[in-house]
Chain A
Amino acid sequence: DTEVTQTPKHLVMGMTNKKSLKCEQHMGHRAMYWYKQKAKKPPELMFVYSYEKLSINESVPSRFSPECPNSSLLNLHLHALQPEDSALYLCASSQEHSGDAYNEQFFGPGTRLTVL
């Protein structure tokens, strides 16, 4: 199974709502990632988890709160978002996140988020 699944596929939320995005992989990967992709732009890294610990936070606003409950699951908790946060949120995983060897990243299909 080389699949990364993301739920929900689409999400519409108001600026006062709290919601969560979910990502799951069963490839035994120990690194997981959140990316944000605006329309017609490349993905931008938000967070990296390595062995269930947050290893990179690309200065993401605190209204985005990642969580890695176990090695297969990655959540992104959303609170008090702004309309400009509307984007496609992509999750990815790889065997590891290190410079020792090549680690291909496997991406999920994304959650399309609209903030009203």
Chain B
Amino acid sequence: DAKTTQPNSMESNEEEPVHLPCNHSTISGTDYIHWYRQLPSQGPEYVIHGLTSNVNNRMASLAIAEDRKSSTLILHRATLRDAAVYYCILRDGTSGTYKYIFGTGTRLKVLA
């Protein structure tokens, strides 16, 4: 199974951009890269996903390295409500199961 590696925790000041990195050096050509976040006492929620190209949506941007071995989730202006655990996830396409393989997650702390 492909695996992801993320820093355990990061801090950001409110209203500043945040770059959350993820390494996935064993990614295969068919694996999508997903980001979900889990707010306290809630289930994970979708943030963004991509395959090869950089992606933007109303919540965040996803920058994918050219070799696809790493990606970065970018929150353009962090707010206190963005404090959560952010998971970088690969969808396992090689085994044919298409199951989500969660990374260990980065706990983001946003300082007022």
Binding site for B on A (CB under 8 A): 4, 41-45, 48, 56, 58, 90, 92, 97-99, 102, 104-110
Contacts and interface: CB of A to CB of B under 8 A. Distances in A.
A109 B99 contact: no
B20 to A, nearest CB: 15
Contacts of B104: 41-42
B16 interface: no
19 contacts: A42-B105, A43-B44, A44-B102, A48-B99, A56-B99, A58-B99, A92-B43, A99-B30, A99-B96, A102-B49, A104-B46, A105-B46, A106-B46, A107-B45, A108-B43, A109-B41, A109-B42, A110-B42, A110-B43
Chain B interface main SS type: loop
A60 B43 CA distance: 21
Contacts of B44: 43, 90, 105, 107
Contacts of B49: 102, 104
Contacts of A99: 30, 93, 96, 98
Interface in B15-61: 30, 32, 36, 41-46, 49
B12 to A, nearest CB: 20
A108 B44 CA distance: 8
